[in-house]
Amino acid sequence: MDSDDLEPKTKSITADFDTLSISELELYILDLEAEIVKCKNYINSKNTDRKLAESVFKK
């Protein structure tokens, strides 16, 4: 199994902004901001895991 297979698949989010109301656009922004937070948390978790692995395998 390739390690790339373990990575989460990115979502392609497209929206037709012309058809969305202001409140729908605001909700869309909130959803995107929540996704950003999730991504940042995932990055922090991966960095922690990498540092732990590096400390185990250092010579």
Low-confidence winner among 1-10, 13-22, 29-38, 47-56 (lowest mean pLDDT): 1-10
Q: What does DSSP assign to residue 3?
A: G
Chain center to CA of 23: 24
Rounded to two decimals, the pTM is: 0.65
pLDDT digits (tens, 9 = 90+) for 27-38: 999 999 999 999
Contact yes or no for 40/48 (Cβ under 8 A)? no
Contact yes or no for 57/49 (Cβ under 8 A)? no
Q: Which are the contacts of 25, defined by CB distance < 8 A and separation ≥ 6?
A: 17
Contact yes or no for 32/40 (Cβ under 8 A)? no
